[in-house]
Structure 1
Amino acid sequence: MKRYAGFIALGLLSLAALWFSQEKPVPSGSPNDRQTQASSQPAGRAQPDTARRDAGKNSAPQGTGFDFYVLSLSWSPAFCASSEGAGNRQQCGSDRRYGFVVHGLWPQNENGYPEFCQSREPDRVPDAIGRSMFDIMPSMGLIGHQWRKHGSCSGLSQKDYFSATRAAFAAVRLPETIASGTRAATLSADAIETAFTDANPGLSKRGISISCDGRRLEEVRICLNRDLTFRDCPELDRRGCRAGSTEIIPIR
């Protein structure tokens, strides 16, 4: 028996060496490692796009002293085709190709609206604030007038009022079929309202109004609560354009 003990021990050592040589660590970043990292994320965590969307909800400064807002979106090609817009080089210069821009964010009451209110803020809007809005309000004259007439009645500072204006614009999804402005189109005011309500769940036709300049689409006005959620506003809706056909000038 002693004769075979050495051979048995040698065989066991060989088997052990072979077993250890086959056990290799999983490299960092391998599919198994990445799967483990992904599964370690907290349950229910929002994906990046969802997180950004949720973070923006109701995050805008909320005004005081009025009941709701009207967000007025001007169709820039129609404005630039008018006698008033012809001389506005900031918005209507040859290299400007705006579609819907913000005319204003207007504090409203259930009956009537305030305007040109007393404010601790200066009448003039500093260039640093105004020019930061040029992608959606492309004129310092427009920005200054909107602050003096409407923003001063919001209960907000200039900085917060224009932050709320940007958030209100971002809260509305523009229907691509109209907002692209690739070619001239003729639609009824009701069809334009339908395009907006279809693109914006929660927005009803009682909360939107179309403004026309003759037969041209001039503005789309949308009612928002102070937290920038959609709401109805029958008084505004009754004043809307009811043209059977509305011309939408293309972006040139």
Structure 2
Amino acid sequence: MRLPALIVALTAMLTLPAIGQSHRAGEFDYYVMALSWSPSWCRSAGDQREATQCDAGRKVDFVLHGLWPQYEDGWPENCRTSERDPSRRDSQAMEDIMGSGGLAWYQWQKHGRCSGLSASGYYAASREAFNSITLPEYFVDLDKDISIPPELIEQAFIEYNPDLTADGITVTCRNEDLQEVRICLTRDLEPRECGQDVRTDCSRDAVIMEKVR
């Protein structure tokens, strides 16, 4: 290749977007709040990790898996941000709703940095979002394993949270177990419809909700 042609080719390459370039913090459309059914997670992973949220007598049901910035199609993650990481103490303070400080830290790293908020602001928004939802009393202190259609779980959440709609909530499963209830929220943490890529519900006729411990 002659030198001028090589220079032109290199110049063109340098003007292309970098593959895997980080998403920009604060540039997203809405949030997905994921509420995980703790007994299912404990059986599949938490027991092996000796997670304290899985200890007998803790009575842990739904916990906040995360508050995820979302595009109308797709999502950002691992964004670059000038905000400082949270302290271990701040992360540990989220244990009451997230099960562990380690999960809170991980969620900040992967999703919180994309919110454009400070670490304390992201944790505060996560807590506000979690507290904005009333958990159906049917599932609080569940004292026996039940088999239940995913649509009934969805309907129960809508019954207790009238601002929710069927297109604003998704129930997911892993094998036969209930995995999560995911609720879509505006950037101001108000209920809204989910993007099409978030609306896929569990396709099973019924899922197992294991009793709380």
Report the TM-score, using the length of structure 1 for normalisation. Answer: 0.71
Residue 102 of structure 1: which of 53, 60, 64 is its match? Answer: 64
5+ residue gaps, structure 2, are 1-24
For 1:98 and 1:211, locate their aligned partners in 2 and report how far apart those are by CA, in whole Å: 19
Report % sequence identity. 42
Q: Which amino acid aligns with 1:159?
A: S
Task: Give 1:91-240 correspondences, 5 Å limit.
Answer: 91-123=53-85, 125-240=86-201
For 1:72 and 1:176, locate their aligned partners in 2 and report how far apart those are by CA, in whole Å: 19
Q: Is the 1:190–1:242 contact (alpha carbons within 8 Å) kept by the matching residues of 2?
A: no
Residue by residue over 1:199-244, the C-alpha shift from the partner in whole angstroms, topping out at 9 and shown as x without a partner, is: 1011011011111011111110000001111001142453221210
Say which is worse superposed, 138-147 or 222-231, in terms of deviation. Answer: 138-147
Shift of the alpha carbon at 1:142? 0.8
Residue 66 of structure 1: which of 28, 34, 37 is its match? Answer: 28
Q: Is the 2:33–2:129 contact (alpha carbons within 8 Å) kept by the matching residues of 1?
A: yes
Q: Is the 1:223–1:230 contact (alpha carbons within 8 Å) kept by the matching residues of 2?
A: yes
Aligned residue for 1:136, secondary structure, equals: helix
Q: Which amino acid aligns with 2:53?
A: Q
5+ residue gaps, structure 1, are 1-62
Q: Which has the higher helix share?
A: 1
Structure with larger RCO (C-alpha < 8 A, sep 6+):
2
For 2:128 and 2:155, locate their aligned partners in 1 and report how far apart those are by CA, in whole Å: 23
The equivalent residue for 1:82 is 44
Residue by residue over 1:87-127, the C-alpha shift from the partner in whole angstroms, topping out at 9 and shown as x without a partner, is: 1423223453311000000000101100000012344x312
Question: Which structure has the bigger radius of gyration?
Answer: 1
Q: Which amino acid aligns with 2:126?
A: T
For 2:155 and 2:180, locate their aligned partners in 1 and report how far apart those are by CA, in whole Å: 15
Report the TM-score, using the length of structure 2 for normalisation. Answer: 0.83
For 2:91 and 2:38, locate their aligned partners in 1 and report how far apart those are by CA, in whole Å: 18
CA RMSD of aligned residues (A): 1.7
For 1:88 and 1:203, locate their aligned partners in 2 and report how far apart those are by CA, in whole Å: 35
Aligned residue for 2:33, secondary structure, equals: strand
Q: Which amino acid aligns with 1:83?
A: A
Q: Is the 1:184–1:250 contact (alpha carbons within 8 Å) kept by the matching residues of 2?
A: yes
For 1:209 and 1:175, locate their aligned partners in 2 and report how far apart those are by CA, in whole Å: 15
Say which is worse superposed, 165-174 or 93-102, in terms of deviation. Answer: 93-102
Q: Which amino acid aligns with 1:119?
A: T
For 2:48 and 2:64, locate their aligned partners in 1 and report how far apart those are by CA, in whole Å: 18
For 1:83 and 1:114, locate their aligned partners in 2 and report how far apart those are by CA, in whole Å: 26
CA separation of 1:156/1:85 partners in 2, compared to 1, >3 Å: closer, same or farther?
A: farther
For 1:76 and 1:236, locate their aligned partners in 2 and report how far apart those are by CA, in whole Å: 25
Q: Is the 1:206–1:237 contact (alpha carbons within 8 Å) kept by the matching residues of 2?
A: no
Q: Which amino acid aligns with 2:118?
A: S
CA separation of 1:188/1:237 partners in 2, compared to 1, >3 Å: closer, same or farther?
A: farther
Shift of the alpha carbon at 1:183? 1.8
For 1:208 and 1:190, locate their aligned partners in 2 and report how far apart those are by CA, in whole Å: 10
Shift of the alpha carbon at 1:143? 1.0
For 2:176 and 2:158, locate their aligned partners in 1 and report how far apart those are by CA, in whole Å: 22
